Each structure stands twice: as C-alpha cells, then as structure tokens.
Amino acid sequence: MIEAFIFHVGQFDPLNMPFGPTREPGYFQYFMQDILLGQIGKDTAAYLDNIMIYTRKGENHEQA
C-alpha cells in the first residue's frame, strides 16, 4: 500500500503506519521473522516489535 503523496513543495512519505491499513502488522511480523530466521527458536523470539533474546547463562547472553 502506498501512502505517499505529492504536494507543491515536494513528496511526503509517512514515517508511521496510518490508522486505516490492516495488513501492515502481518507484513511487519513476516519481515521480522525473515530477518531473524537463523535465531528464532534458538535464542530469540519475536512478536511484532518485541524481540526477546534468551540464554541459559549470563555470559552467553552478550554473545547472542
């Protein structure tokens, strides 16, 4: 969905999601899972904009 519009002083693109579109949360979740593909289930969990990194030991947490 394209939300950009052209005005006499230039083109404007929204920086956040407008209220109307309803598919964007699903797209965002898909992209997050695609970006974190190798880590999800191993030491990372993602739900929308919440990313949780977990390890069994504290010293391993910084490496993850």
Concatenating the DSSP letter of every residue in 2-57 gives: ---EEETTEEE--SS--SS-SSHHHHHHHHHHHHTTTTBTTTEEEETTEEEE--SS
The pLDDT value given to residue 20: 65
The pLDDT value given to residue 13: 85
64 residues of the chain, pLDDT tens digit each: 567 888 888 888 877 766 666 777 888 888 888 888 888 888 888 887 888 888 877 777 776 5
The pLDDT value given to residue 37: 87
The pLDDT value given to residue 46: 85
User: Domain locations in the chain?
Assistant: 18-61
